[in-house]
């Protein structure tokens, strides 16, 4: 069969929501915002992972500082070799991918990387007993085998256009993780990898501290240690950044704007596939009604949300793909149409009551919308959404809560959720929308079930023909307008403010999950102190 090398291009899709936690001072780190040293960095982030194990999904989109994948992405999201010596050799009409490992790579405990570690990683992720809710992204894998110590061969059930980009999945050491239960073992909080840094300390809900890996196969980083201070409240992060307690932080637009004229700090803006949307569970008596969902889609003022909530740092979301994505279907862009929303509800038999809230067959048009406490951007989206809905005669009761409270309610109550992934339109769209994943953790939170969408997702995943895939994703996006399982609101630009003490800072096109692994620190191992 003809052999070729994989090339990559950035595209988009959706992924799962992330939790938030409490905060306290990072403590113990030298070189905070005092400007005295550039080899130690303290960064404020909104959340921390539940686990640091790639076997359970950590780092699956790349950019983990503890681990490496076979491939990685550069600033422009082009695929480049990481643990692999070169891009994969693809044969058998796109069904066989062969990777040759880089020589001399060691894990942070000094043990060498082998092909068996790669095999163990992928087989464990795919094992039905492993609690990895994103394993459907590797559905195409039929087998993964080692050929000697330095060659790994993946055989696929069907050609999968996005497969090479899926091999940014971090590789774990079998000699450490292999003797543990992947769901409960100590590897989840005591990881061993091949990346530029090792985890030195993790105080849950407070901070994670990383130090340079002495066995790293790449260049020695100039930033020898960094701390991720977990500070859920946006305003507290901004205050501590201003006081010099932090070197940098991820901030919402209104707070990032307060640093605009600060000569000692720079604001870094990253475009993203991160969108905010309201889940509309089909099991709810109100949100399960298609006319209600259509009316909400027509009633929402997306442009006002971008202008007023995001202060222009974003774009209206007409679906899960942003308007500048090459897979976006342009003719689905739509403006607010309150009259259309009212017409839809009138025709469906939802009639206004004395207080203006509609009802049908004794059912009042009201439902609860949760947002994660402490997230001001989501709170503002939820309140604006409720205001728009009320003008159409639908009552939305907005409540803030922790994810521990929200998660058990996702099957019956609406959630102001965040999703978005990079790499290929299949990434995340499948987990967001396919009926087979309804209610599987944060996958398909709305329990959406549409045969047209399922067929389009399956075609987009299994076809290698760009035209066929484009047609499938066009059908999908149009179907979501006709039968919305979510009200898509905005795509958000990510904003970061950092002390201006380093060179080499860049941002990538980012997924929903940002701040911890994404941000200007995605390549912190390449930073250099300013002269």
CB-based burial label for 508 (10 Å; 0-12, 13-18, 19+): buried
Q: How far is CA 440 from the centre of its chain?
A: 16
Distance CA 14, CA 320 (A): 7
pLDDT for the residue 36: 54
Residue 418's nearest CA partner among 494, 479, 312 is 494
Its CATH class, for the domain covering 4-195+493-529, is: alpha beta
pLDDT for the residue 27: 39
The region, left, alpha or beta by phi > 0 then psi within -120 to 50, assigned to residue 349 is left
Average pLDDT (500-516) is 89
Average pLDDT (428-439) is 93
Q: Which residue has the higher pLDDT, 344 or 10?
A: 344
- The domain limits of the chain are 4-195+493-529, 275-492
- Count the helix, strand and coil residues of the chain and give each as a percent rounded to the nearest 5: 30, 25, 50
**What is the DSSP code (8-state) at residue 5?**
E
Asked whether the beta carbons of 136 and 70 are under 8 A apart, the reply is: no
pLDDT for the residue 21: 34
Is residue 522 very low, low, confident or very high in pLDDT (cuts 50, 70, 90)? very high
Assess whether pLDDT exceeds 80 at residue 15: no
CB burial of 467-499 (b: ≥16 within 10 Å; e: otherwise) equals eebbebbbbbbbbbbebbbbbbbbbbbbbbbbb
Two tokens, residue 457: 């997702």
From residue 258, how far is each of 19, 42, 45, 497, 519 by CA, in Å? 26, 20, 18, 10, 19
Element (H, E) at 119: helix 115-126
Assess whether pLDDT exceeds 80 at residue 30: no
3-state secondary structure of 160: coil
Residue 275's nearest CA partner among 529, 488, 499 is 488
Is residue 440 very low, low, confident or very high in pLDDT (cuts 50, 70, 90)? confident
pLDDT for the residue 374: 82
Q: Measured over all CA atoms, what is the biggest interatomic distance in the chain, rounded to whole angstroms?
A: 76
Q: Which residues contact 261 (CB under 8 A, 6 or more apart)?
A: none
| pTM score of the predicted model | 0.84
Asked whether the beta carbons of 504 and 41 are under 8 A apart, the reply is: no
Over its C-alpha atoms, the chain yields an Rg (Å, rounded) of 23
Q: Which residues contact 129 (CB under 8 A, 6 or more apart)?
A: 183
Q: What is the DSSP string of 247-298?
A: SEEEE-HHHHGGGTT-TTEEEEEE-B--EEEEE--TTSTTTTSHHHHHHHHH
From residue 500, how far is each of 33, 237, 503 by CA, in Å? 10, 18, 8
pLDDT for the residue 379: 96
Q: What CATH code would you report for 275-492?
A: 3.10.105.10
Average pLDDT (351-364) is 97
Average pLDDT (422-447) is 91
Distance CA 465, CA 518 (A): 31
In sequence order, the β-bridge partners of residue 179 are none
In 348-418, which ranges are continuous DSSP H helix?
376-391, 403-406
In sequence order, the β-bridge partners of residue 153 are 98, 145
Average pLDDT (64-89) is 96
Asked whether the beta carbons of 249 and 255 are under 8 A apart, the reply is: no
């Amino acid at each position: 069969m003809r052999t070729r090398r994989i090339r990559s291009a950035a595209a988009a899709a959706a992924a799962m929501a992330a939790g938030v936690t409490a905060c306290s001072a990072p403590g113990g780190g030298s070189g905070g915002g005092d400007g005295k040293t550039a080899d130690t960095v303290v960064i404020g982030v909104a959340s921390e992972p539940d686990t640091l194990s790639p076997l359970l999904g950590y780092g699956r989109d790349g950019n983990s500082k503890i681990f490496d994948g076979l491939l990685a992405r550069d600033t422009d999201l082009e695929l480049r070799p990481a643990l692999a010596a070169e891009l994969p050799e693809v044969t058998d009409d796109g069904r066989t991918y062969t990777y040759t490992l880089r020589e001399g790579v060691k894990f942070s405990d000094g043990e060498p990387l082998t092909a068996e570690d790669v095999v163990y990683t992928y087989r464990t992720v795919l094992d039905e007993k492993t609690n990895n809710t994103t394993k459907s992204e590797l559905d195409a894998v039929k087998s993964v085998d080692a050929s000697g110590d330095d060659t790994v061969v993946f055989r696929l059930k069907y050609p999968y256009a996005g497969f090479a980009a899926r091999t940014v999945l971090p590789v774990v050491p079998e000699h450490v993780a292999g003797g543990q239960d992947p769901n409960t073992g100590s590897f989840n909080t005591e990881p061993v990898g091949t990346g530029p840094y090792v985890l030195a300390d993790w105080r849950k809900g407070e901070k994670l501290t990383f130090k340079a890996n002495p066995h790293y196969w790449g260049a020695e980083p100039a930033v020898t240690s960094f701390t991720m201070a977990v500070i859920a409240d946006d305003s507290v992060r901004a205050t501590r950044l201003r006081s010099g307690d932090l070197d940098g932080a991820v901030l919402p637009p209104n707070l990032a704007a307060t640093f605009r004229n600060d000569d000692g700090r720079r604001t870094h803006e990253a475009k993203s596939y991160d969108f905010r949307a309201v889940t509309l569970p089909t099991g709810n008596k109100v949100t399960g009604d298609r006319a209600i969902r259509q009316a909400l889609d027509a009633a929402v003022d997306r442009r006002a949300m971008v202008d007023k909530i995001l202060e222009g740092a974003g774009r209206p979301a007409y679906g899960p793909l942003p308007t500048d994505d090459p897979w976006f279907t342009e003719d689905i862009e739509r403006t607010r149409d309150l009259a259309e929303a009212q017409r839809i509800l009138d025709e469906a038999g939802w009639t206004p009551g004395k207080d203006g809230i509609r009802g049908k067959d004794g059912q009042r048009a009201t439902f609860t919308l949760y947002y994660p406490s402490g997230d001001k951007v989501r709170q503002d989206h939820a309140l604006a959404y409720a205001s728009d809905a009320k003008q159409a005669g639908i009552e939305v009761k907005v409540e803030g809560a922790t994810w521990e409270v929200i998660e058990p309610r996702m099957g019956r109550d609406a959630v102001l959720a965040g999703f978005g992934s990079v790499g290929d339109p299949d990434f995340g769209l499948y987990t967001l929308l396919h009926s087979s994943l309804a209610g599987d953790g944060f996958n398909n939170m709305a329990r959406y079930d549409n045969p047209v969408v399922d067929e389009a997702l399956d075609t987009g995943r299994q076809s290698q023909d760009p035209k066929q895939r484009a047609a499938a994703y066009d059908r999908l996006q149009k179907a979501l307008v006709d039968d919305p399982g979510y009200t898509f609101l905005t795509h958000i630009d990510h904003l970061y403010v950092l002390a201006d003490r380093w060179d080499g800072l860049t941002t990538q096109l980012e997924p929903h999950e940002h701040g911890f692994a994404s941000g200007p620190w995605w390549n912190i191992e390449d930073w250099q102190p300013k002269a």
